[in-house]
A and B are shown apart, each in its own frame.
Chain A
């Protein structure tokens, strides 16, 4: 292979900086949200943040790798990735695999093979890569139902269904949404989406009705304060935390909501902790970081050289953006309570690693390779 000189465009550099700031901010936030807690009779102290630091280090290596890898190779690996992900997701729902896929907090999301891996995070990336690959391959054919929408659905829907079985409604929805967004970016007809939406509504509705707690989740969203059962309680506590932050926040580490009032204060509701401790200024800062990230990523996508890279860029930008905005929306009670983490920030090594890989791929998009020879 010929030696090539890598030149990072300003977007890629900015993206790296944004990522670094987010990760550091995330580490601080995880520390603030977790250190004062006592779990299973032990003080958490720095254990969570150290775990996360390991995740950040590993993710940093993956970022470098993703930034250097030839994206065409990645495209070629799309099918194996998606199949492997599917296999792993199957393991999570098998009845006899509890030894490596334990039920935690009512759901089987983690695969315990030496390290604990949250498979749905990998599934997100795999689906983005695969859908980008497929849309790039189909070209203008995505405008045709049978060539565009349906093939995507036939692969993504089973994956989403497997994730739904964990159960993890929100990630399933996000995965579907990401695939559709890439489809949309690739030029699929708007009419198809409308059709799909109308078709999906009863399906989705039945799904939501299926599980009791999801019903509650939905009614909670429609009428918070109606009861204090779990999710309404969670939303209420999240708002108390964020609201109490006011403009300047109660101060780093001074938040009280994490002391048992707020569930999952360093994962699903870390935004609430941040809002409490840093106030509206912190929220604004965080929103600016994520908005900048998404816009820069989309800009990279638009400027990418080939359709796969474009779609990949859009998918990755959306993967970070959708998760981040949904997470914030949950914390502010404008979106039903879901179990989504805040990319780069929330505790969770799988999520952090995947987000860093996404940054890596995006940096990859923004890297011009000037062959030294030829």
Chain B
């Protein structure tokens, strides 16, 4: 059989060829095309899974959560995968709160998937975790514990879970955190498996933002405003409550009956002509350039005065009025006449310095700057108009910040909505520090103005705002509304700006009512709202008020406003050592005042604000750096720098930067 070996050789050669062919093909696929196949493999086998970061919480200043992210769960059941039906039914019944019989019937009904979206908390669904056929779906849900509280300010998320409006949007980058990614292995059914060997970026939870808002005060403000708008059948209204010492906004409320509200809310997005509430700024302009004193008098023409062909009227005609009386009685004629003493540049500079025509820089999207024309755009009537609060527009927040100048001793502070940003671990990442924009008036001018404002409440147009208990300073405003470029009779903006308490104010309250029906005067509409708010605030123990300071109310009555004629007298404030009980005048010291050098008082250990006040009482300007209690001053205690020079107070916290 000679053939056999040769045929076996043929077979062997055949197998050999086949083997080489297969190897060649394998080399082709694995070595030449390998990269492409590996890419395809990675594309189908792995999936980048975003690991959502927990969105930070928005707190009010007292730690009340306004918006927080909760981990919630939905429960899904694949009945066909369920093994221990009895146990599954009993645990499910407890978790989702359905009768067992119904659940058992549901599982037996032959459905592929049953889902209870929940939301359930972890403790509710935890027992279901290891049940076969039961799937828990984790979700991070934004939750607003007090949904009615400042919804426009707090804002809401958009459909993608990013900040869509309000502070949620303004602080989105802080709150959102950074999503992590995990490379998950994926099988052909799309099920994913964790892959320990592949790198994953851990999610970084968003930071918490502690707002300066006071939830209680906010609620009070919203309630009072809502009632007032409804009661006066007004088109809308705004309330701003500001802490003058820090620039922190405690409450922002805006109501509109109809029509759209600016993106940042009406409080910062909707400027209005302030009217009489702005007279005080002209008074400030006069005082700061020494073109008038509080006791300079002007003849008020008994209520009717023609200036450059334009008739100016006062509601209550008067004779001779001092500057203080002009403010107190809100005399248009008086302020127009006095304002004429100013050059346009001086008048303009004063209004600019009070922050008008410029956004305040508060962290709300859509802030309007208001309108303030430069003098070259003025008409002949403009000086008088501006003095009376027309021809320029302000936002309620700008107005509040500007009035706070009278409470801070002449400093314009940048208003803020944020006190602190805290990291996910609770560490403080950022803390608001008082950010002075500029000195607008000297502290003595500021106290003079504050005194005038107090007069307006106690004897003037703002009487309806007066509280029985504590003195209030403030100014009413009633402005004709400019509709379509024309001032329309019968449509007014009523406003009231209050400083509470009148001495050492802790709150600046701006109330503005748009187009109230009936009695349209600010004194009749907006001032009572202020009173309502303050009365409620005083009755609510949690509201941000330093009540110990309120009790000192009557002490400095006589000295609260150092009168110019007393300049040569020795001010009370030089009493040394300073009584921490605080009988010192609130006015501080005019830098120009001739006075002997005095030592820097020891303030270490006091709260920086207390320290700053003590230094103010000693006649120094104060620059605060940091937070908490005062750790040191520069110059140090005991040194005797020239009066009026600046003493830096270093807080124990947050000194960096």
Where the two chains meet, the residues of A that have a C-beta atom closer than 8 Å to any C-beta of B are 41, 181, 184-187, 239-247, 256-257, 259-261, 275-276, 279-280, 283-284, 287, 290-291, 294-295, 298, 301-302, 307, 310, 314, 317-318, 321, 325, 328-329, 332, 334
Contacts and interface: CB of A to CB of B under 8 A. Distances in A.
Contacts of A280: 26-27, 30-31
Given A247-B30, A325-B15, A257 B45 contact: yes
B37 A244 contact: yes
B31 A302 contact: no
B5 interface: yes
Contacts of B189: 260
B187 interface: yes
B18 interface: yes
A276 B34 CA distance: 10
B310 interface: no
Given A184-B11, A260-B188, A314-B11, A334 B41 contact: no
B311 interface: no
A37 B224 CA distance: 66
Contact of B15 (A41, A244, A295): A295
A260 B187 contact: yes
**Interface residue SS majority, chain A:** helix
B8 A259 contact: no
B1 A187 contact: yes
Contact of A243 (B3, B33, B132, B186): B33
A9 B480 CA distance: 118
B85 to A, nearest CB: 14
B25 to A, nearest CB: 5
A244 B132 CA distance: 34
A106 B243 CA distance: 80
A246 B11 contact: no
Contacts of B42: 244
Output the residue of A181, A245, A284, A290 with the most chain B CB within 10 A.
Answer: A245
Most buried by B among A240, A307, A325: A240
A196 B191 CA distance: 50
Nearest to A233: B188
A41 B132 contact: yes
A310 B25 contact: no
Most buried by B among A256, A257, A329: A256
Contacts of A283: 23, 26, 30
A317 B14 CA distance: 12
A318 B22 contact: no
A302 to B, nearest CB: 5
B187 A240 contact: no
Contact of A334 (B3, B22, B193): B22
Most chain A CB within 10 A, of B33, B36, B187, is at B187
Contacts of A261: 44-45, 187-188
Contact of B38 (A243, A284, A334): A243
A287 B19 contact: yes
Contacts of B16: 291, 295
Contact of A246 (B22, B31, B40, B186): B31
Nearest to A139: B1
Contacts of A328: 22, 26
Contacts of A287: 19, 22-23, 26
Nearest to A256: B45
B41 A257 contact: yes
A291 B5 contact: no
B201 interface: no
22 contacts: A187-B1, A187-B4, A240-B44, A242-B37, A243-B36, A246-B34, A246-B35, A247-B31, A256-B46, A260-B191, A261-B44, A275-B26, A276-B41, A283-B23, A284-B26, A287-B23, A290-B19, A301-B8, A307-B1, A317-B11, A329-B18, A332-B22
B202 interface: no
A310 to B, nearest CB: 6
B331 to A, nearest CB: 85
A242 B29 contact: yes
Contacts of A314: 8, 11
B582 to A, nearest CB: 75
Nearest to A279: B30
B34 A187 contact: no
Contacts of B81: 41
Given A247-B30, A332-B26, A291 B15 contact: yes
A259 B27 CA distance: 24
A241 B5 CA distance: 40
A301 B7 CA distance: 11
Nearest to B46: A256
Contact of A256 (B35, B83, B185): B185
Nearest to A313: B8
A240 B41 contact: yes
Given A256-B41, A260-B188, A280-B27, 19 more contacts: A41-B83, A240-B40, A240-B44, A242-B26, A242-B29, A242-B30, A243-B30, A243-B33, A244-B38, A244-B42, A246-B30, A247-B30, A257-B41, A261-B45, A261-B188, A280-B31, A290-B19, A307-B1, A334-B21
A239 B30 CA distance: 9
A291 B25 contact: no
B389 to A, nearest CB: 74
Interface string B39-81: 0111011100000000000000000000000000000000001
Contacts of B10: 184
Contacts of A241: 37, 41
A239 B37 contact: yes
Contacts of B30: 242-243, 245-247, 275, 279-280, 283
A41 to B, nearest CB: 6
Contact of B34 (A244, A291, A301, A325): A244
B38 A291 contact: no
Contacts of A294: 12, 15
Nearest to B40: A240
A107 to B, nearest CB: 22
Nearest to B29: A243
B143 to A, nearest CB: 36
Contacts of A246: 30-31, 34-35, 38
Residue from the set A181, A284, A334 with the largest chain B CB neighbour count within 10 Å = A334
B7 to A, nearest CB: 5
Nearest to B26: A283
A260 B1 CA distance: 53
A298 B40 contact: no
Nearest to B132: A41
Closest 7 CB pairs of A and B: A243-B37, A260-B188, A246-B34, A260-B187, A259-B187, A244-B41, A256-B45
Given A243-B30, A245-B30, A325-B15, A185 B25 contact: no
Given A181-B11, A287-B22, A240 B4 contact: no
B43 to A, nearest CB: 9
A334 B25 contact: yes
Nearest to B133: A41
Contacts of A181: 11
Nearest to B12: A298
A98 B217 CA distance: 80
A287 B16 CA distance: 10
Contact of A318 (B11, B21, B33): B11
Contacts of B188: 259-261
A295 B18 contact: no
A128 to B, nearest CB: 14
Given A240-B41, A261-B45, A290-B19, A302 B8 contact: yes
A83 to B, nearest CB: 28
A261 B190 CA distance: 10
A318 B37 CA distance: 32
A332 B25 contact: yes
Given A242-B30, A246-B31, A275-B30, A259 B22 contact: no
Contacts of B187: 259-261
A49 to B, nearest CB: 20
B88 to A, nearest CB: 14
Nearest to A242: B29
B412 to A, nearest CB: 64
